[in-house]
A and B are shown apart, each in its own frame.
Chain A
């Protein structure tokens, strides 16, 4: 059983002789110190109580909107709704053009530039280019093939000649390639149909055994296709695409 007066003596005893001499010295700081702290009894200000009830009121509203009904199944909607201001706003799939812009910035911008204009003689322009939006002999299938396997040697774009090498990008996923192509086909005044991941997959499956980068000659030998509006299956090309600029996200 612990009794309050046994152990306390130890530290005192061990320096007993010194204590006698120094008693005033040791305790100078203790002698001069103020009394132990006490409580005052001022009332809590009314405005503070008002503010606190406002905070509590806000807390109730917030929980009503964002608690997901306290269900263990609801994970997401409320984390999005703070942006839109209402719990009705659901998280849609990400906009491929936003993803595409990021991927373009990371992978393509060094050569093709943020303006899409490229570098004269080396890296072709993407702006209003038949290679990008289709036209002449070039179809959407060619565009996807170029991205998957790269392109080498001299090529003609909008009547000008460019000569350099583009590396293959087959390491990117179908969704990523589709996002990049959708982005460049809708940016800088370009206005062509989005490329879907399903379409990229179709082309990837078709040209599985291709290992070298394409050349303009090889590509010209392949008949051009145009991606149909809203569909994944390739269709033969007829005219240059003139589809609506915006395709609502699925």
Chain B
């Protein structure tokens, strides 16, 4: 053990006490196998899902590409891409981050890791079956629920294990204050099975008739983003920002307002996908209103994060975790405000059924959620494997490839989608001309896909090095830049 400095001996409250560190070490060790299992499988599916997405992106501009294989037709590739990244990458990675955070925040070592290890294995079998099912042509024509009926129950069983585990952990947590991240985690872990079960019962097992299917479909698809990915992403941001910079979150009251307004308004949002559709006016209008009300949780959370960061922005220069997380948190604000604006009927008539929506989806899932997941992994993985990230240069490459790639993709799709939408809206213009407007931007989107995939390969390479503990052992953390002086800010990361 290091001998304590004079300063910390005079003022012990500035130093975490030794017992606390040992507890943390125990907690981290107990999460090692399930969390790494979820992370490793998630990274595998990220590479698969991105490759599927890349091929479908190029098929938009070159329809003849690979058209001799029925399992590589656009109608199968695109849902395979979506389901691989949603259920193969984002969900398991979110679960991994969620497990680690839950154990830390409950302040007890992880219970029943066998339950979680089984869940991880069963879940991945379900994904494998589901993706193969879509590619051989068994997919269902329900967006976000394309997995064939034989893989859905497997996924639900795997998820049920995790939901049960969450309740057990919460029940046996150490008494005391419940930090804001845990509200989000606990809620998300219970919201997801509710969404997934409801949608599958009402759309697959006992399908409702007529337009109500569309309403349930979009209620589900939008809530996966808002009541599953968003709360986990925010839980991670609420944890890692104060953790890395070492100061309390700005305001408990803002946290409360942000959490409950999200819980109150989000599940009404899905109907804004159906503006102009065959639905009673009040359903769509209520959704438009709820979408605008999302300003409240979004602005509240943005202020809370920004005020916490204030005065510590220089930490973005050296901390990989913080840089990814802050990129994600800023993207959360942007994508949410954009989403609210897209619910305004006047704008929706232009952007609906165009690439603009695709840009919005990637801004949410990649620039916000995936970047938060990357940042969290940069913090969690060294604590699980007992090894420092081998190369700051490669992390830097990963960050810039991801950031530039996603900004190029979102920028191209947003601009192309607007031109496409204006052409579609113009009665004197043909459908074909709307595609001609979108085409050059779709080429750019295809290029951005290569950039993102390159970044992911760098990250996968780093992750494998971590698992196998390759490279020379490092003393300190992998920082982007070596700060001029070793301050408290730089060594704590």
Smallest distance from the beta carbon of B271 to chain A beta carbons, Å?
A: 12
Q: Given A8-B111, A38-B248, A71-B280, does the pair A25, B16 have CB atoms closer than 8 Å?
A: no
Q: Is the CB of A27 within 8 A of B25?
A: yes
Does B254 belong to the interface (CB within 8 Å)? Answer: yes
Distance from B388 Cβ to chain A, minimum over Cβ atoms (Å) = 7
Q: Is the CB–CB distance between B280 and A68 below 8 Å?
A: yes
Contacts of A39 in B (CB 8 A): 177, 179-180, 248-249, 251-252, 255
- State whether the Cβ of B150 lies closer than 8 Å to any Cβ in chain A: no
What class of interface size applies to chain B in its complex with A?
35 or more
Contact assessment for A31 and B21 in the assembled complex, using a CB-CB cutoff below 8 Å: yes
Chain B, Cβ-Cβ closest to A24: B1
Main secondary structure of the interface of B (DSSP, over half): helix
With A12-B26, A40-B248 in contact, is A30–B242 under 8 Å at CB?
A: no
Identify which of B281-289, B398-406, B407-415, B442-450 touches chain A: B281-289
B471 within 8 A of A: no
Interface size, A (range): 35 or more
Q: Which residues of B contact A72 (CB under 8 A)?
A: 280
A22 within 8 A of B: yes
B25 touches A30 (CB 8 A): yes
Known contacts A8-B26, A8-B30, A55-B295: A34-B250 contact under CB 8 Å? no
CB contacts under 8 Å to A, within B434-493, are: 473, 475, 477, 491-493
Which chain B residues border A36 with CB–CB below 8 Å? 104-105, 179, 243
Q: Which chain B positions have C-beta within 8 A of A24?
A: 1
| Interface status of A105 (Cβ within 8 A of chain B) | yes
Q: B19 at the A/B interface (Cβ < 8 Å)?
A: no
Q: Are B16 and A43 in contact (CB under 8 A)?
A: no
> In this assembly, does A164 line the interface, its C-beta being within 8 Å of a C-beta of chain B?
no
Residue ID in chain B nearest A103 by CB atoms: B427
With an 8 A cutoff between CB atoms, is A79 at the interface? yes
Contact B428 A102 (CB under 8 A): yes
Q: How far is the CA of A33 from the CA of B26 in the complex (A)?
A: 15
The answer to the question of A7 belonging to the interface, with a C-beta cut-off of 8 Å to chain B, is yes
**CA A127 to CA B16, docked complex, whole Å:** 88
Q: Specify which chain A residues have a CB less than 8 angstroms from the CB of B29 in the assembled complex.
A: 11-12
Task: List A residues 1-44 near B (Cβ within 8 Å).
Answer: 2, 4, 7-8, 10-12, 22, 24-44
A-B contact sample (16 more), CB < 8 A, given A36-B105, A39-B179, A43-B251:
A8-B110, A8-B111, A12-B29, A27-B25, A32-B491, A34-B16, A39-B252, A42-B307, A59-B292, A59-B293, A63-B285, A66-B285, A67-B286, A68-B281, A74-B280, A75-B280
> Which residues of chain A have a CB within 8 Å of any CB of chain B?
2, 4, 7-8, 10-12, 22, 24-45, 48, 51-52, 55-56, 58-59, 62-63, 66-79, 82-83, 98-99, 101-102, 105-106
Q: Which residues of B contact A (CB under 8 A)?
A: 1-2, 16, 20-21, 24-26, 28-30, 32-33, 104-105, 108-114, 168, 172, 177, 179-181, 238-239, 242-255, 257, 275-276, 278-282, 284-286, 288-289, 292-293, 295-296, 299-300, 303, 307-308, 345-346, 382-383, 386, 388, 427-430, 473, 475, 477, 491-493
